[in-house]
Amino acid sequence: MDYEKLLNKAFSEMPERTETSERFEIPKAKSFIQGNKTIFDNFIQIASIFRREQEHLMKFLSRELAAPAQVVERKLVFVGKLGNERINQKIEAYAKEFVICRECGKPDTEFVKKQRFLFVHCLACGAEHSVRAKIV
């Protein structure tokens, strides 16, 4: 078999490309309560799936959950007892506000700062929308 035939054969055997239109699945927090603290186990993984600074996500969660937080040994530790469901609601809120593109729904976005304003720029479709610059 010559090269061209081999190539054709290879192509014909490739699976049909399907459009990846399925919605982005927001990752779930794994957390547990230890004494009077709550340990958010996969915090760093979730920040990296979101492609966001750990600091930014941490501030958001800490404020939204009204619980002081800090990263200890690659886990986020909250002071206070927080149910897993509550943390997940806030992860979802964060994703909707700061990560997912409002045009195409994809999570491949980055922050762009323009003067005092902060935008979410979508790497998939190029759309841009402004978000609050400060979490206070």
Contacts to Zn ion by CB under 5 A: 101, 103-104, 122, 124-125, 127
Complex with Zn ion: residue 72 or 124, whichever CB lies closer: 124
Which of residues 125 and 131 has its CB atom nearest to Zn ion in the complex? Answer: 125
CA separation for the pair 115, 17 (Å, rounded): 42
C-alpha 106/C-alpha 77 separation (Å) is: 29
Smallest gap, in angstroms, from Cβ of residue 91 to Zn ion?
Answer: 20
User: Strand pairing partners for 86?
Assistant: none
List, in sequence order, every beta strand (DSSP E) within 73-127. 75-79, 109-114, 117-122
CB of 64 or CB of 128, closer to Zn ion: 128
Give the nearest distance from C-beta 108 to Zn ion in angstroms: 8
CB of 107 to Zn ion, least distance (A): 9
Question: 13 vs 25, which CB is nearer to Zn ion?
Answer: 25
Phi then psi dihedrals of residue 130, to 5 deg: -85, 145
Residue 123 CB, nearest distance to Zn ion (Å)?
8
Rg (CA), the chain: 20
